[in-house]
Chain A
Amino acid sequence: MTKYIGRRIAASIPVLLLASVLVFLLVREFGADPARVRCQQSRDVHCRARARAALGLDDPLPEQYVTFMGDFLQGDWGQSQRTDRSVAESIRDDLWETSQLAFWGVLFSGGVALAVGVYSASRPYSRGDYLFTGLAFAGIAMPTFWFGLLTIQYLSFELQQLLGTTEPIFYSIPNPLGSGVVDYFRELALPILVLSVQLVAGWSRYQRSSMLEELNSDYIRTARAKGLTRRRVVWKHGLRNSMSALVTIVAIDVGALFGGLIITERIFSRAGMGTLLLSAVNNGDTQVILPWMLVVGAIIVAFNLVADVLYGVLDPRVRLS
């Protein structure tokens, strides 16, 4: 197992390096010039030249890349080219913010998807199954931005009007004055709901098909023939054996969430990895984009590994080598 993990990590390093070269070249070639962004309102015509020199943008591209990677590997992640803020601090803080959203979103979505998937599989082609299938397709098709605005309008503003409270039950922006678990979840409820819609929609379909396959297996029929109750067969045998597919897709999606919450974070005015990336791309801030990409890439690789390992844990027939 250790060897397997080591090999997987080693194999991911050239992929990350290649990706970093491509991203660096693309952002430098086609992205915004950080010096221009810094000086766009300055009447001093020499501002841009000074900024380019200070940011090292006059050096040849390969030299800029090598300098960056050399520093990065030695633990010096440098400063943002837009804000001069420490990149390591930015990524640490924003990773923490995104982790919270991702953790609760995945926990909530995983639970709901599991329940919906099991229900649909154990009552296939029933009214309930059709209802959940329809909702799942609606969830997959629904634009996150639009749904986010709807939740703010109805669950924050309209609900407050209905109840006549001085502040909304569910906050549409973080509350810096909030304290305690209740305020914490009042702040996270809407982002989690928005994040969960597409996750639940996708994951419940995986769980349904996987569970359906298990429930139609010979060993399930044998268990039923031996007199086990339907509930026991579904929850004890069917569920356990059907979960490997869901766990795999969840682990893979979790990794992607660390870089993919741009819209959710923006609508709800939350700091996070998505917001950080958006700002960095808009400002041509390669000094942030490259470490961001390497960190998110490493997280994705790590969660893919977790998926593989969990697959083996859930299905002892699978041996990793």
Chain B
Amino acid sequence: MRGRSTRFAVFTCAIVVALVGASVAAAAPSRVPQQAASGTIRIAAEEEPTCADWIASCAGSSWGNWALGNLTLPQALNVNADGEYVPGAILVDLPTLEPGPPMKVTYRIRPEAVWSDGEPITSKDFEYTWKQVVTSKDIYDTTGYIDIESIDTSDPTTAVVTFSKPVALWRDLFGGFYFLLPSHLLEGKSRSKAMKDGYAFSAGPWKLDGGKAGWKKGKTITLVPNGAFWGTKPSIGKAIFQFIPESSAELEAVKTGQVVAAYPLPIDGALDQLDESPSLTYTVSFGNQYDGFWINAKAFPLDSKSVRQAVAYATDRQVIVDQILRPAIRQGRVLQSFIVPTFRQFYVPAFEEYTPQPDRVDELMTGDGWKKGSDGIWAKGGKKASFEINSTAGNESRALTEQIWQSQLRESGFDLKIKNLNSDVLFGSRLPKGQYDVALYASVGTPDPGLCTIFCSNNIPSKKNKNVGNNTTWTNDPTIDRTWSAVDTTLEDAARVTDTQEGQAALAEYVASIPLYQAPEIFIYNHDRLGGNLQDNVVMGPFFTMNEWVLK
């Protein structure tokens, strides 16, 4: 009996010791030293950046740029809240373009622009970045960079980039998803190893706190002011981005004051909750990601332009958009082009003529030789106007969109079948092979208006382009080819705007696909604690002006 009691006592003591030990040990590794409350802010980040080697394919995520890249590294050009290109902090003014041939772009670098170690930013950094993009193995996007012939670095404060052919999207180079890289720190080293998990250098207003240590994977990114930054220096001592993947958890975190700002995807009832919190301010904006019905123009019956137009006239997009967006943001705005209105200099509402018009549907279908059968479905040559829509399985709002569209089309005499697929089957196999009728998915608009990659006939997957063409709608129209090819090669701004607007009209006439709505975003902040320049920027993210934020 005594022996058993002793064993039991030892067992109990072991548990207690383990408990205390685990408590102390568990608390240790994840702690960050306490900072003065007035000097530290916590911000909710819905996604963790995937990696910080910005030019590699591992880095293709918006949150990477918003929470780290844009705040720590320089770009030649930035995009302002109005969707316009403006010179980045490193440039004296907008680059100058010589159309050529050969086309040349000259970037004049501010003499006071330095890396965080005090070394000046030079034309060598432009050259290093370009060479890394075109010579490294696993690069995210080489578009435009592969057309650079040389970079003149004879003047450290002036980078003269010469192109082998006209590149209309030159403003996206050394910007967009990419940043200028420090040649003096990375030359001769593995760029990937030096950057992918975070880096100590900076040429932005912020830098990672302790270099790589500032990014605690799965938890936080901690930024502190970069003392060498030559522009507006941050007044906040520390900014912690905390990864909160659930929108509802983000809302609770900002409502309870655990974070002072958040940028969640909208969820139903979010605005009602925010209205009940008097210390919170929010702005709803429409991002550059948009949903659309992407139509396969080689699949029966949608291979007929009349049928595509009739389908567009049979669709009440406002009803669909209201159902999807109103519960979350109290408004539903239909997108009328494949260029989002954010980039207002190019956008025209080309699809606005497509409102529900049953008479137009009848006119177009009968004109194309179709007759309605006893079941109310159009038929021609013994074949019905029946087609299938595919989207990614498990997406509730897209499933709802499909159901509403199915009912609208049924009323106009079209039979729509719904079959949702694994995303890899849809994007990896069905779309590239043209084995679909209509697909519902999102695309991303860029400040540069080029759409030739997805609508020009030379980009239809074929042997010529090794089956990697991105025109998976099989759009094939001479006007679309002419206008959008010109957009990619025309260097003169006014002509480019004209081509873009003509191109949008041509896409609407052809009904290459049907745009639906831009994904909305909500920027929330606690106005009792934050002031200064707080504004959303759908390209650069709402934290781009964080160096101008002040703590109250």
B53 at the interface (CB under 8 A from A): yes
Give the complex CA separation of A160 and B257 in angstroms: 10
Contact of B453 among A38, A43, A89, A93 (CB under 8 A): A43
Interface hub of A44, A85, A104 (most chain B Cβ within 10 A): A44
Contacts of B220 in A (CB 8 A): 176
B217 touches A90 (CB 8 A): yes
B139 touches A47 (CB 8 A): yes
- Closest B residue to A49 by beta carbon equals B468
In chain B, residues 365-382, which have Cβ atoms closer than 8 Å to a Cβ of chain A?
none
Complex interface bits, B456-469 against A, C-beta within 8 A gives 1, otherwise 0: 00010000010011
Give the complex CA separation of A174 and B44 in angstroms: 11
Give the complex CA separation of A177 and B255 in angstroms: 18
Contact of A40 among B60, B192, B252, B465 (CB under 8 A): B60
In the assembled complex, how far is the CB of residue B273 from the closest CB belonging to chain A, in whole angstroms?
10
Contacts of B219 in A (CB 8 A): 174, 176, 271
In the assembled complex, how far is the CB of residue A133 from the closest CB belonging to chain B, in whole angstroms?
28
Q: If A38-B58, A176-B242, A179-B31 touch, does A43 touch B428 (CB 8 Å cutoff)?
A: no
B256 touches A50 (CB 8 A): no
B60 touches A176 (CB 8 A): no
A103 at the interface (CB under 8 A from B): yes
Complex interface bits, B332-374 against A, C-beta within 8 A gives 1, otherwise 0: 0000000000000000000000000000000000000000000
Give the complex CA separation of A42 and B55 in angstroms: 11
Q: If A82-B58, A176-B32 touch, does A50 touch B138 (CB 8 Å cutoff)?
A: yes
A53 touches B137 (CB 8 A): yes
Q: If A172-B258, A173-B253, A177-B35 touch, does A83 touch B444 (CB 8 Å cutoff)?
A: no
In the assembled complex, how far is the CB of residue B263 from the closest CB belonging to chain A, in whole angstroms?
15
Contacts of A160 in B (CB 8 A): 256-257
A12 at the interface (CB under 8 A from B): no
A31 touches B424 (CB 8 A): yes
Give the complex CA separation of A46 and B60 in angstroms: 14
Contacts of B19 in A (CB 8 A): 107
In the assembled complex, how far is the CB of residue A113 from the closest CB belonging to chain B, in whole angstroms?
15
In chain A, residues 260-319, which have Cβ atoms closer than 8 Å to a Cβ of chain B?
266-269, 271-272, 275-276, 284
Contact-size category for B: 35 or more
A156 touches B50 (CB 8 A): no
Complex interface bits, A97-131 against B, C-beta within 8 A gives 1, otherwise 0: 10010011001000000000000000000000000
How many residues does chain A have at the interface if contact means C-beta atoms less than 8 Å apart?
Answer: 67
- Closest A residue to B44 by beta carbon equals A173
Contacts of B255 in A (CB 8 A): 157
B399 at the interface (CB under 8 A from A): no
Contact of B249 among A45, A48, A100, A267 (CB under 8 A): A267
B53 touches A173 (CB 8 A): no
- Closest B residue to A32 by beta carbon equals B424
Q: If A93-B217, A103-B22, A157-B256 touch, does A269 touch B428 (CB 8 Å cutoff)?
A: no
B140 touches A36 (CB 8 A): no
Give the complex CA separation of A103 and B21 in angstroms: 12
Give the complex CA separation of A103 and B57 in angstroms: 38
In the assembled complex, how far is the CB of residue B271 from the closest CB belonging to chain A, in whole angstroms?
17
Contact of B256 among A42, A43, A172 (CB under 8 A): A172
A70 at the interface (CB under 8 A from B): no
- Closest A residue to B444 by beta carbon equals A41
Interface hub of B26, B40, B58, B61 (most chain A Cβ within 10 A): B58
A46 touches B468 (CB 8 A): yes
A175 at the interface (CB under 8 A from B): yes
- Closest A residue to B33 by beta carbon equals A179
Q: If A45-B470, A93-B217, A271-B217 touch, does A167 touch B256 (CB 8 Å cutoff)?
A: yes
In the assembled complex, how far is the CB of residue A174 from the closest CB belonging to chain B, in whole angstroms?
7
Contacts of A173 in B (CB 8 A): 242, 244, 249, 253, 258-259
Contacts of A175 in B (CB 8 A): 258
A83-B58, A100-B22, A173-B258 are known; give 18 further A-B pairs, CB within 8 A.
A33-B428, A35-B57, A40-B60, A42-B60, A42-B140, A45-B453, A47-B141, A50-B137, A90-B217, A107-B15, A107-B19, A157-B255, A171-B258, A173-B249, A176-B42, A176-B242, A177-B35, A181-B27
Task: Give me the interface of B with A, judged by CB distance under 8 Å.
Answer: 15, 19, 22-24, 26-27, 29-35, 40, 42, 50-51, 53, 56-58, 60-62, 137-143, 177, 192, 196-197, 216-220, 222, 240, 242-246, 248-249, 252-253, 255-259, 422-424, 427-428, 444, 446, 453, 459, 465, 468-470
* 9 residue pairs bridging A and B, Cβ less than 8 Å apart: A42-B60, A45-B470, A47-B139, A89-B217, A160-B256, A167-B256, A173-B253, A179-B33, A269-B245
